[in-house]
Amino acid sequence: MALDTRTGRRPSFAATLWGSTVGKKTVMAVSGLIMLLYLVVHMIGNLKIFFGAAEFNHYAHWLRVVGEPFMHEEWTLWLVRVVLLAAVIAHATSAYQLSRRDIRARPGTYVHRKPRSSYATRTMRWGGIILGLFLVWHLLDLTTGTVHAGFRPGHPYQNVVDTFSTWYGNVIYLAAMLALGLHIRHGFWSAAQTLGVGSRARDRALKSTANALALVLTVGFVSVPVAVMTGVVS
């Protein structure tokens, strides 16, 4: 292991791993799977809106008290938030640094045309940016109520209905969910390859699983605004 020229010490295993392309891809894969697991749970919770305001509001309250009395009110919720925030930061940072490393590795000016990135790569990059912006909007809309004019703390059902009763709320959410589906479709298979799960014999099953996850999550999330727009949920 080479010495760090700035400190004269051998870099730690974690630093060496993070500095490598394989290490960054592994961080991106693991953090992506953590977020995917959360999305599955979050979608299931969202679907409770079809059982009415009382059921949905009760579920939202339960999220704040889960783990009591061992955990104080909202401690479990904040623990989940911290883990998710760490996963988002790790995922975005590794993706950005891998992208910069890929750009630097491209041929120099002696090549007439730079090779174009693949469709999957472009989809992942732009999809990640769209989802990052959406995440900020979503939190400001339904968590803090900063951009939600009629936001009512403690009334999640009504807040969701209000959001999807506006054209811009629907456009933002539907566009983000389509980007999410594409991101999951490409990302799940890529993560499997990075973590060594993929193989020629398993590729078909992994791609089918990726497609199924993307479809189920997209349809599940999109069903809520569609239900509000059509009057099924009101």
Q: What is the CA radius of gyration of the chain?
A: 21
Residue 199 has what pLDDT?
A: 73
φ and ψ at 169, to 5 degrees? -65, -40
Residues 6+ away with beta carbon under 8 Å from 165:
228
pLDDT tens for the 234 residues of the chain, in order: 555 555 556 777 778 878 888 889 999 999 999 999 999 999 999 999 999 999 999 999 999 999 999 999 999 999 999 999 999 999 999 999 988 887 777 665 444 444 445 656 677 888 889 999 999 999 999 999 999 988 999 999 999 999 999 999 999 999 999 999 999 999 998 898 888 887 777 888 889 999 999 999 999 999 999 999 999 999
Report the b/e string of 87-125 with b at 16+ CB within 10 A.
bbebbbebbebeeeeeeeeeeeeeeeeeeeeeeeeebbe
Distance CA 42, CA 89 (A): 19
Residue 45 has what pLDDT?
A: 96
The answer to whether 115 touches 106, Cβ cutoff 8 Å, is yes
Global pTM reads 0.87
Distance CA 92, CA 94 (A): 6
- Strand, coil or helix: 6: coil
Residue 172 has what pLDDT?
A: 96
